[in-house]
Amino acid sequence: MRVVKHEHAFLTIEHGGETLVIDPGAFAPSLGDPANVTAVVVTHEHPDHWAADHLRGIRARFPEVPMFTTAATASASPVDMTVVAPGDEVRAGAFRLRFFGGTHSEIHSSIPLIDNVGVLVNDALYYPGDSYAVPGGVDVEVLAAPIGAPWLKIGEAMDFVLAVAPRRAFGTHDATLAAPGLAMHRDRLEWAARQGGGEFARLDAGDALEI
């Protein structure tokens, strides 16, 4: 299984000649040319995690591809999507998807909380969306850890990595950080990953990790 980090929260996972797309958001100017897309996951409704044009483009190329998301995102989407919730498990082509969490991390008390689902892919890669939801009882091989956001405090992000204790981790959700801040936050998450005997990969957009 090959994980490719793209801009901000956008990931693609390649396995068995198939591709899973996660959070194709508005911060990604293009989705490139993913081959044989067999599933799409959108963790929540914020536009940095999905863009109407991106979803339309995927649907045009792959008319039958299932797309999984929260109820609010499904209702706003220009294409048909399937609603999932924490505890659900689905299979799509080469991918087994298990969903966790349920709620977006708080940005501020004045801003209503929204639904958010983290996704565990093939019992190996975990991406929590915009939350610190820990997948209980799961031995995570690779963690895609949010590293910068209006809701994110780096100490809490470190605690999240410590709690998951993955064998490997990399930072995602990073478009809000300038280069000096990104480097500092990577240092902190690398420290947290090492406490559990794990490693941290400093992936930029276009870089890949083999699982």
Class of domain 2-206: alpha beta
Residue 149 tokens, joined: 């956001």
The dihedral built from the CA positions of residue 157, 185, 149 and 58, taken in this order, carries a sign that is negative
Question: Exposed, middle or buried, 164 (CB in 10 Å: 0-12/13-18/19+)?
Answer: buried
Parse the chain into domains and list their residue ranges.
2-206
- The tens digit of pLDDT for each residue in 144-163 reads 999 999 999 999 999 999 99
Give the rounded percent of residues in the chain with a pLDDT score beyond 70.
100
Write the Ramachandran bin of 148: left for phi over 0, alpha for psi from -120 to 50, otherwise beta. Answer: beta
Predicted TM-score of the model (pTM): 0.97
Question: Exposed, middle or buried, 43 (CB in 10 Å: 0-12/13-18/19+)?
Answer: buried
Write the Ramachandran bin of 173: left for phi over 0, alpha for psi from -120 to 50, otherwise beta. Answer: left
- The tens digit of pLDDT for each residue in 108-157 reads 999 999 999 999 999 999 999 999 999 999 999 999 999 999 999 999 99
Which residue type, as a one-letter code, is found at position 135?
A: P
